[in-house]
Amino acid sequence: MKYTLILLCLFSLSLTSCKWDTTKGALKHGENLKNSIESFEKNRKKLSTNLVSTLEEAEESLSAEDPDLPKVSKDFEKEWTSIQNRYKKLKNDFEDVGKSSDDYFNELNTLSGSISKEELRKEELRKNKELRATWEKSFREAEVSINKVTTVLESGNDFHMVLVASSIRQKLEQNVNELKVISEQAKALLQDLEMFTKAGRDLVEG
């Protein structure tokens, strides 16, 4: 009898441990997605601030009566290299969000698929499918914006090459107003990406 009670206690503890492991695993996927989203948002903000301030400073320097083109070119190159590195981090964070969201939805479907009652199982899987469709729409829209940021940064690279050439010739041939255009385009696109962050937060926080 005593041996039977011990076995029952061990079995009960085993079930409790399994359930707790399931909960911890599910929460871990949600936490990973949340962390990747917050990292993305952190880099989005920094990129937006750095990019706009760099372009504005370059525009102001080049609009002076007698701009020091070699100095402006060197300063711009330094800041633009930093911006490029920040953008790489943003793209990496975006990929991490994609991977962690896949894991998140796979875990949801695994949990829902383990429900024994068929009607309830189908209902939960349907909810997961609808939620994922909404999320993937936001993800695709963000991907488009990120690709457009690439194009904007390429315009900045082109401007820098012209600026270097101008500094060698000691005259400015590039239209300084182009910097303002690049700045406004980048600012608008990075603001669009803030909606992606909101969608991600809504997903994991409810």
Helix-helix angle 118-169:69-113, to 10 degrees: 170
pLDDT at 126: 95
The neighbour count for residue 113, using CB atoms within 10 Å, is 11
Residues with Cβ within 8 Å of residue 63, at least 6 apart in sequence:
176
Nearest in space to 70 (alpha carbons), one of 161, 160, 167, 159? 167
pLDDT the model gives residue 16: 46
Give, in order, the Cα–Cα distances in Å from 26 to each of 52, 57, 115: 40, 47, 15
- Burial of 180-197, coded b for 16+ CB within 10 Å and e otherwise, reads eebbeebbebbebbeebb
pLDDT of residue 18: 45
Mean pLDDT by 10 residues, the chain (206 residues): 39 44 71 91 90 86 82 87 91 94 92 91 93 92 89 84 75 65 82 85 79
Position 21 scores a pLDDT of 61
pLDDT at residue 164, rounded to an integer: 78
Q: At what angle do helices 2-62 and 69-113 cross, to 10 degrees?
A: 160
Res 91: pLDDT:
93
Classify each residue of 4-28 as buried b or exposed e, where b means 16 or more C-beta atoms within 10 Å of its C-beta. Answer: eeeeeeeeeeeeeeeeeeeeeeeee
90 contacts 142 by C-beta, under 8 angstroms:
no
